[in-house]
Amino acid sequence: MAVPLSARGDGSTSYMERAKTEFAAWPVLAMAHAPDAVVFTVGDIPILRLTGRDTAHLHLTRPVVERLHEALATSAHVHLAAQDGWIALRLDTRADLDLLVALVSLAIKANTDPA
């Protein structure tokens, strides 16, 4: 079972900070700081916004969200966002971070491949 970082009590880096470090190292992504978020883009397309202490907003595109809706709905940490094609993912555990890494790869492909 995944253990929330706050429950570990070992002073480790937060999963949000780990996500920022991970994605900053990806050459295809550009990182920018907005007043309330860290935004990662592919070209000039924003695909990931890290906000607050534990929330990642990810642009998967509408077709991908529709295709993965049933699987995404099984996670208590994934929520469909108000913006079309976006989801929100709460980063509380290592499993959440692993899911985010996989979904960012999918988001890159979905936002750059011509349909």
pLDDT digits (tens, 9 = 90+) for 26-41: 999 999 999 999 999 9
Tens of pLDDT, residues 43-84: 999 999 999 999 999 999 999 999 998 998 888 899 987 788
Cβ 31 vs Cβ 40: under 8 Å: yes
Q: Which helix (H) or strand (E) holds 51?
A: strand 45-51
Alpha-helical regions (H) of the chain? 5-8, 15-24, 62-73, 94-112
DSSP annotation of 49 reads E
* Domain range list for the chain: 30-110
Strand order in the sheet with 37-42: 30-34, 37-42, 45-51, 55-59, 86-90, 78-80
Mean pLDDT, to the nearest integer, of 77-94?
A: 90
What pLDDT is recorded for position 5? 42
